[in-house]
Amino acid sequence: MSQTQTLYTALTGHLAAALDALEAAGTLPAGLSRAAITVEPPRDASHGDLATNAAMVLAKPAGMNPRALAEALVAELAKLPAVTSAEIAGPGFINLRLSSASWIAELRTLAALGADYGRSDIGRGSTVNVEYVSANPTGPMHMGHCRGAVVGDALAALLEFAGHRVIREYYVNDAGGQVDVLARSAHLRYREALGEAVGDIPEGLYPGDYLIPVAQELAREFGDTFAAAPEADWLVLFRTRAVAAMLVMIRDDLALLGIRHDLFSSEAELQAAGKPAEAEAWLRARDLVYDGVLEAPKGKVLDDWEPVELPLFRSTSFGDDQDRPIRKSDGSWTYFGADLAYHFQKAQSADALVDIWGADHAGTVKRIKAAVAAMTGGEGKPIPFEVKLVQMVQLLRGGDPVKMSKRSGNFVTLADVVREVGKDVVRFTMLTRKPEAPMDFDLAKVVEASKDNPVFYVQYCHARICSMMRKASAEGLGPDDAELELLGQEEIELIKLAAQFPRLAEAAAVAREPHRIAFFLHDLAAAFHAYWNLGNDRPEKRFIAVQNGKLTGARLFLAAQLGQIVRNGLAVLGVTAVEEM
RNA sequence: GCGCCCGUAGCUCAGCCGGAUAGAGCACGAGCCUUCUAAGCUUGGGGCCGCAGGUUCGAGUCCUGCCGGGCGCGCCA
């Protein structure tokens, strides 16, 4: 255990032990919350390698002077072999400097852990259900779905990396009016396949060509049985077949991005199993659903709006602006009514829920959070549930917007984009911006091979390390950890940056922000490239220094470990670590 | 009218759920390139962190109210 413990984990433990010692000595009152204590590198590296705010955080609840507490803590921390200096600064920070030996030891830890460096158990095996994509099964995936797909998938991997069990789930909206429209659209294509001249696809039906194959299949199987039949005879059959075909397409599209869900949950099956009705009964029994009349919607004039009594969920009791109907006036379930039951079902098999939604659904976050709180908070604390909103992506080419029109079916499909620029470019680029900020995706810029392009920059870092290893190998050289003490200050600085990966991965998982991994990799690549460039003017700083085989071995060992971190980070992001470019 | 998100250097954006003198790239200025891959490198200037209050040892970060932009508002999905 201690041999494979990373430096930050060890120091966090040492700090806790130091605080324990102060408690035992009676210097510090026992039982104070340490939740706000951090150990992290200071922004300004001149302050030291690590800083902790422990004295400032604990001073007030302990009723102590921060500097007096800091002095006591410094006395404890200075005893640690890894700590070469511990100083009090500013309002009560404790700045620590660590020995070169401890950084070199961290490099060995990195090598020992390999692909597991950065992995943690902060999730303690608890299960998180991540629902993402959940695009309507009415056509192929388009770019509007792409960002949420990538963010959700990377988040799922990140949570696994942090020790959670993860269920990757896709909610199939196969019960609403949109799939009836799909069935009618398929029926039209079916008549077309039978030889009928159907002309232009009417307004209100899906115009895309992608329904032609499933319609042809129906024509082969059933002949003209349903050509003139009333809708009631074929609607369910056509809907079922068309939805199934759309899901095959969607899975293929997702596979292009390297995404595979564990579970596809069907809204229709949920309804057939009576889950929404169960939920309604449960909520009615607690007076959380009642029959009431909604006010007319604001800000928009609806000519067909009329007040009518509907079963309403008391979402206002949980912070929503309005109570929300769970069934329509014809008795069928609203999207929300089914979604409520669906989230209750998900909560049965997970310890926490995360939904990744497009920003256009932001208006429904409050009601679903209200519903989850109501349905899972019955016997104590509600299940942790977060909705991550992913903002729009504007598709550009060379700075000009790419025209898209849903109406004509002329949208840019995800498959088109992945085929044009590649999976790795799509995934990495989608993760180089925090998801709640809008993003431009320029088809021309994202494939540029220059340092302005973060995808290229990070992959080039890995490729450059691999290339160097091949070259060294050809000269009979290779990584060697026998004399890592030969590494100088510039190399130690690289280790310091690399050593932040584990705590950064933990923080990213806790915050549910996979993009932090992408930014870290970019920083690491920048540091590596900068170190590499030292060799341009100073040949003695080159990795392969023929005059000193032992030093070369140590530097190659360092480079190999940096490459390992890039691989680990890219693996979380689902991006290939290429070996040459 | 209401809700959510965003507002940080001329531009594109980071900023680790409150920490010390706010960072990176582009663009701009200066100097470098017959290479362990210059697909560049080094270096310099450039900021009332939208505005105004509040919370506290400490605010770009949290709260309130404005301003500006984006996305939404339904018995749709």
The residue lying closest to nucleotide B77, measuring its CA against C1', is A335
Average pLDDT of span A111-115: 95
Residues 6+ apart with CB under 8 A from A55: A66, A67, A69, A70, A73, A88, A92, A93, A94
**In this structure, what are the phi and psi dihedrals at residue A122, rounded to the nearest 5 degrees?**
-65, -25
Q: Which nucleotide is nearest to A52 (CA to C1')?
A: B19
Is the confidence at residue A30, as pLDDT, over 50? Answer: yes
Tokens 């995934």 locate to A427
Average pLDDT of span A227-249: 96
Q: Which nucleotide is nearest to A533 (CA to C1')?
A: B41
Q: Which nucleotide is nearest to A329 (CA to C1')?
A: B75
Q: Which nucleotide is nearest to A534 (CA to C1')?
A: B41
CA distance A169 to A225: 37
* pLDDT tens, residue by residue, A548-577: 788 899 999 999 999 999 999 999 999 999
- What contacts 24+ positions apart, CB below 8 Å, involve A198-206? A205/A181, A206/A138, A206/A139, A206/A181, A206/A182, A206/A409
Tokens 């001073």 locate to A59
Average pLDDT of span A36-45: 85
pLDDT for res A110:
94
Protein CA A205 to sugar C1' B1 (Å): 34
Which of A46-55, A131-140, A410-419 has the highest mean predicted lDDT (pLDDT)?
A131-140
pLDDT for res A410:
57
Q: Which nucleotide is nearest to A515 (CA to C1')?
A: B14
**Rounded to whole angstroms, what are the CA distances from A549 to A430, A553, A554, A559?**
42, 6, 9, 15
Average pLDDT of span A235-256: 96
3-class DSSP state of A50? strand
Q: Which nucleotide is nearest to A555 (CA to C1')?
A: B36
Protein CA A362 to sugar C1' B5 (Å): 9
The residue lying closest to nucleotide B3, measuring its CA against C1', is A363
Protein CA A547 to sugar C1' B40 (Å): 27
* pLDDT tens, residue by residue, A432-476: 999 988 888 888 888 887 777 888 889 999 999 999 999 888 888
Protein CA A42 to sugar C1' B75 (Å): 55
The residue lying closest to nucleotide B57, measuring its CA against C1', is A91
pLDDT for res A540:
83
3-class DSSP state of A95? strand
**Rounded to whole angstroms, what are the CA distances from A171 to A175, A254, A265, A270, A522?**
11, 14, 5, 10, 34
* pLDDT tens, residue by residue, A300-359: 566 666 778 999 999 988 878 889 999 999 999 999 999 999 999 999 999 999 999 998
Is the confidence at residue A1, as pLDDT, over 60? Answer: no
**Rounded to whole angstroms, what are the CA distances from A560 to A10, A161, A476, A495, A505?**
23, 21, 16, 12, 20
pLDDT for res A570:
96
* pLDDT tens, residue by residue, A161-203: 999 999 999 999 999 899 999 999 999 999 999 999 999 889 8
Percent above pLDDT 70 for chain A:
96
Protein CA A251 to sugar C1' B10 (Å): 45
Is the confidence at residue A493, as pLDDT, over 70? Answer: yes
Q: Which nucleotide is nearest to A308 (CA to C1')?
A: B75
* pLDDT tens, residue by residue, A497-514: 999 999 999 999 999 999
Is the confidence at residue A388, as pLDDT, over 80? Answer: yes
The residue lying closest to nucleotide B18, measuring its CA against C1', is A36
Is the confidence at residue A406, as pLDDT, over 90? Answer: no
Q: Which nucleotide is nearest to A66 (CA to C1')?
A: B57
Protein CA A440 to sugar C1' B12 (Å): 10
* pLDDT tens, residue by residue, A56-79: 989 888 888 888 899 999 999 999
CA distance A353 to A39: 29
Tell me what percent of chain A is helix, strand and coil, each rounded to the nearest 5: 55, 15, 35
pLDDT for res A241:
97
Least confident of A119-123, A264-268, A320-324, A536-540: A536-540
Average pLDDT of span A517-541: 88
pLDDT for res A90:
82
A46 token code pair: 């001149």
What is A433-500 written as a DSSP string?
S-TTS-EEEETTGGG--STT-HHHHHHHHHHHHHHHHHHHHHTT-----TTGGG--HHHHHHHHHHTT
pLDDT for res A546:
64
Is the confidence at residue A237, as pLDDT, over 70? Answer: yes
Left if phi > 0, otherwise alpha if psi is -120 to 50, otherwise beta: which for A559? alpha
Protein CA A54 to sugar C1' B60 (Å): 23
DSSP code of A273? T
Protein CA A389 to sugar C1' B6 (Å): 12
* Spacing of C-alpha A250 from chain mean position: 20
Percent above pLDDT 90 for chain A:
65
A472 token code pair: 């060294």
Nucleotides of B under 7 A from a protein CB: 1-7, 12-26, 35-42, 57-58, 70-77
CA distance A13 to A4: 14
Protein CA A424 to sugar C1' B44 (Å): 36
pLDDT for res A2:
42
Q: Which nucleotide is nearest to A513 (CA to C1')?
A: B16
3-state DSSP of A533-555: HHHHHCHHHCCCCCCCHHHHHHH
| Mean pLDDT value across chain A | 90
Protein CA A521 to sugar C1' B58 (Å): 31
Protein CA A389 to sugar C1' B4 (Å): 9
The residue lying closest to nucleotide B7, measuring its CA against C1', is A437
What is A380-399 written as a DSSP string?
SSPPPEEEEEE--EEEEETT
- What contacts 24+ positions apart, CB below 8 Å, involve A83-86? A85/A48
Protein CA A224 to sugar C1' B26 (Å): 62
The residue lying closest to nucleotide B26, measuring its CA against C1', is A452
Is the confidence at residue A250, as pLDDT, over 70? Answer: yes
Q: Which nucleotide is nearest to A579 (CA to C1')?
A: B37
Average pLDDT of span A32-50: 86
